[in-house]
């Protein structure tokens, strides 16, 4: 089965129930991270809650996952100041989330809540429509949320030293170049085949004549050299045309 948090395939035996009051399960690694995060967030209850439905976990479940009781860390005044300055609380579960410098402002908590890091608005439905942050909302949604494809990003912008490349236009250009090169290659081979056929036809022995004599005559015949010259000229012209197209 798949873990509901990391979505990786896990053996059934490695999945743990997040609460006796719900049917949500996740792998042990994700359960440990979630409980540890609840401890660091100074959970007001004696036990953490399920990140999906907020149903309380019992002490036995926490002990089975961590191997010890649940111990929330009580922050100091300095901790509160640092958290207020450097983190944003999830609107759904209240866990403190810190944004990596240069990353998108659209956050997704472990509980599944998506919100704008700049203003805290749930689902990033915020009035930041003219800010740089919103352009990154659009970029993120176009990559991971197909329902938001109508929100096309504006012109390519530069963020944190990375250029947002117009990938669609680049792919279209590459397809056109590949098609032109294929057309030239096909035409070149076709002309070579025609020239070769012309050589064979001009050099065919006549009925009733000695083959060896005909071969000598054809070898020094002006017709065969004219055919070869024609093939070389056609090949040179097509090669020049191919270079110009590229």
The reported pLDDT for the residue numbered 200 is: 55
Cα–Cα distance, 49 to 58 (Å, whole number): 9
Angle formed by the axes of helices 222-245 and 211-219, to 10°?
50
pLDDT score of 173? 66
Does the predicted model carry a pTM greater than 0.85? no
The per-residue pLDDT for 32 is 87
The predicted structure's pLDDT at residue 161: 38
Output the pLDDT for position 34: 85
Q: Which residues of the chain have pLDDT under 70?
A: 41-46, 75, 124-175, 178-227, 229, 231-246
Boundaries of every domain in the chain: 12-66, 89-163, 167-245
Query: How far, in Å, CA of 47 to CA of 56, rounded?
Result: 7
- pLDDT of the residue at 4: 80
Instruction: Tell me the backbone φ, ψ of residue 189, rounded to 5 degrees.
Output: -65, -35
CA–CA gap between residue 176 and residue 181 (Å, rounded): 9
Whole-number pLDDT of residue 157: 38
Q: How far apart are CA 194 and CA 235, in angstroms?
A: 12
pLDDT digits (tens, 9 = 90+) for 155-184: 333 333 343 444 455 556 666 776 666 665
């Amino acid at each position: 089965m798949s873990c509901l948090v990391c979505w990786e395939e896990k053996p059934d035996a490695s999945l743990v129930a997040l609460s006796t009051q719900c049917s949500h399960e996740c792998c042990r690694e994700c359960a440990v991270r979630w409980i540890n995060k609840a401890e660091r967030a100074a959970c007001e209850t004696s036990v953490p809650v399920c990140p999906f439905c907020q149903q309380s976990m019992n002490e036995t479940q926490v002990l089975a996952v961590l191997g010890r009781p649940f111990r929330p860390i009580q922050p100091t005044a300095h901790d509160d100041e640092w958290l207020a300055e450097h983190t944003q609380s999830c609107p759904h579960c209240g866990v403190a989330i810190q944004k990596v410098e240069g990353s998108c402002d659209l956050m997704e908590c472990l509980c599944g809540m998506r919100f704008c890091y700049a203003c805290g608005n749930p689902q990033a439905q915020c009035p930041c429509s003219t800010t740089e942050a919103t352009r990154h909302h659009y970029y993120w949604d176009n990559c991971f949320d197909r329902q938001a494809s109508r929100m096309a990003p504006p012109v390519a912008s530069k963020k944190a030293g990375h250029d947002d490349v117009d990938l669609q236009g680049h792919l279209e250009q590459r397809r056109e170049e590949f098609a032109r090169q294929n057309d030239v290659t096909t035409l070149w081979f076709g002309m070579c085949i025609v020239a070769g056929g012309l050589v064979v036809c001009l050099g065919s022995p006549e009925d009733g004549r000695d083959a060896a004599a005909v071969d000598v005559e054809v070898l020094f015949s002006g017709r065969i050299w004219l055919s070869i010259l024609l093939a070389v000229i056609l090949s040179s012209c097509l090669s020049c045309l191919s270079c110009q197209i590229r």
